[in-house]
């Protein structure tokens, strides 16, 4: 299968159009002292949009992005974009990093040098990885699927083919969060013979049907917390899994609306204490938003929720994810399952309650997460003849 080097280079015309649309933004009103209670703060969005229009330097961000090695390859009829950084060490382990929503492949960028060249960052060269970071189908520079059915299982099939058929890795390690954790779980379920181990920041829901053991006190509390969270915070999920096309018209046409939809989640789901720029600069936030804007992929990214809902893959009675699994649970993430919840379905060999960080851990606490990933995979290393040619 053919792999083409790729350079991120947005046309000047697209950037000029973006600035013109930002200039013409028609902001809504809001009630007094609304803040973030009803959604994205009008005060903050005005500030962000003005920064985006007058000060945000996409070309500088583009240069940062292009410091990595980018490629595109056709995999089963769909072109996937991915980063591929070779490890600097005696026997780098191949590792695929899987992002979620509403971030992009760029969320994983802070991890890449820490994992590919640990010795340069105060670690041990023996912990080096060959790091592969694909963009989910329909996100940024990966092709938008033209047909329905891009389920988590389908994405896992594409990524397995990318790693084995395209890049030549017989076995590989996996890290993922959010959608990436779901895809990672499908990799462990359907392609366990290729998986060295799974490192996740989210737990896929276990089977709880007839014959399953009763919930522990911690699990029952977690289920209730999940129910309340979806009632209070889950509107985005309900819209995207039921009527994503209706939402797409607004988000694909208004950059301010797109920013509002995405940035609210970065604030709500991160360990920022309500002050989003404690964790993410405007440049970091707008890099993700601009990637969606210039590629016109927010609608295809949102459809991943529709396909998850229409083409579900639930765990069945007694079904388990066989590869060894490690979990890093961050205190400000959107859910906090107990270990026994994960042990229903996974072979949990490492469970770490992290001291800080949220849903976007690879961007919020890359050093902590990189060390946790290294520690989990260290006992799983052995000569495997795995280096791609």
Query: Catalytic residues, which ones?
Result: 178, 305, 359
CA neighbor of 53 nearest in space, from 348, 299, 330, 286: 286
Q: What is the largest CA-CA distance in the chain?
A: 63
CA neighbor of 184 nearest in space, from 92, 73, 81, 97: 97
User: How far apart are alpha carbons 201 and 361 in whole angstroms?
Assistant: 8
SS3 of residue 327 by DSSP? strand
- Contact between residue 95 and residue 130 where contact means Cβ atoms under 8 Å apart: yes
Start-to-end C-alpha separation, the chain: 13
User: Strands 129-134 and 172-176, how do they pair?
Assistant: unpaired
Residues 6+ positions from 306 with CB-CB distance below 8 Å: 148, 240, 241, 242, 244
Q: Which residue is listed with tokens 């209730």?
A: 224
> What single-letter DSSP state applies at residue 162?
I
Return the structure tokens found at 49: 């949009």
User: How far apart are alpha carbons 205 and 198 in whole angstroms?
Assistant: 16
Element (H, E) at 219: helix 217-233
SS3 of residue 195 by DSSP? strand
- Contact between residue 206 and residue 315 where contact means Cβ atoms under 8 Å apart: yes
């Amino acid at each position: 299968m053919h792999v083409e080097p790729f350079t991120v280079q947005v046309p000047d015309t697209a950037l000029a159009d973006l600035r013109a649309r930002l200039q013409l933004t028609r902001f809504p009103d809001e009630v007094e002292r609304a803040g973030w209670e009803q959604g994205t703060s009008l005060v903050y969005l005005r500030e962000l949009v003005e920064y985006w229009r007058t000060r945000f330097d996409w070309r500088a961000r583009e240069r940062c992005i292009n410091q990595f090695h980018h490629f595109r390859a056709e995999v089963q009829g769909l072109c996937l974009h991915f980063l591929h950084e070779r490890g600097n060490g005696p026997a780098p382990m191949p590792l695929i990093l899987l992002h979620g929503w509403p971030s992009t492949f760029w969320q994983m960028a802070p991890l890449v040098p820490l994992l590919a060249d640990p010795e340069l960052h105060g670690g041990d060269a023996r912990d080096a990885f060959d790091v592969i970071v694909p963009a989910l189908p329909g996100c940024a520079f990966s092709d938008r699927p033209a047909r329905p059915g891009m389920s988590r299982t389908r994405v896992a099939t594409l990524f397995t083919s990318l790693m084995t058929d395209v890049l030549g890795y017989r076995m590989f390690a996996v890290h993922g969060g959010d959608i990436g954790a779901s895809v990672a779980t499908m990799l462990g379920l359907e392609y366990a013979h290729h998986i060295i181990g799974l490192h996740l920041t989210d737990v896929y829901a276990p089977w709880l049907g007839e014959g399953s053991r009763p919930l522990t006190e911690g699990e029952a509390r977690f289920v209730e917390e999940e129910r309340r969270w979806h009632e209070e915070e889950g509107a985005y999920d309900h819209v995207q899994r039921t009527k994503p096309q209706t939402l797409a018209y607004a988000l694909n046409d208004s950059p301010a609306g797109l920013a509002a939809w995405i940035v609210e989640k970065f604030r709500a789901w991160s360990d920022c204490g309500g002050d989003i720029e404690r964790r993410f600069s405007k440049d970091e936030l707008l890099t993700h938003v601009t990637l969606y804007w210039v590629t016109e992929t927010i609608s295809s990214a949102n459809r991943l929720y529709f396909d998850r809902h229409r083409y579900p893959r639930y765990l069945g009675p007694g079904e388990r994810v066989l590869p060894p699994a490690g979990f890093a649970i961050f205190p400000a993430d959107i859910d906090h399952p107990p270990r026994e919840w994960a042990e229903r379905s996974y072979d949990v060999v490492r469970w770490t309650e992290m001291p800080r960080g949220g849903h976007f851990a690879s961007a919020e606490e890359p050093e902590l997460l990189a060390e946790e990933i290294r520690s989990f995979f260290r006992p799983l290393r052995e000569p495997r003849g795995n280096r791609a040619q």
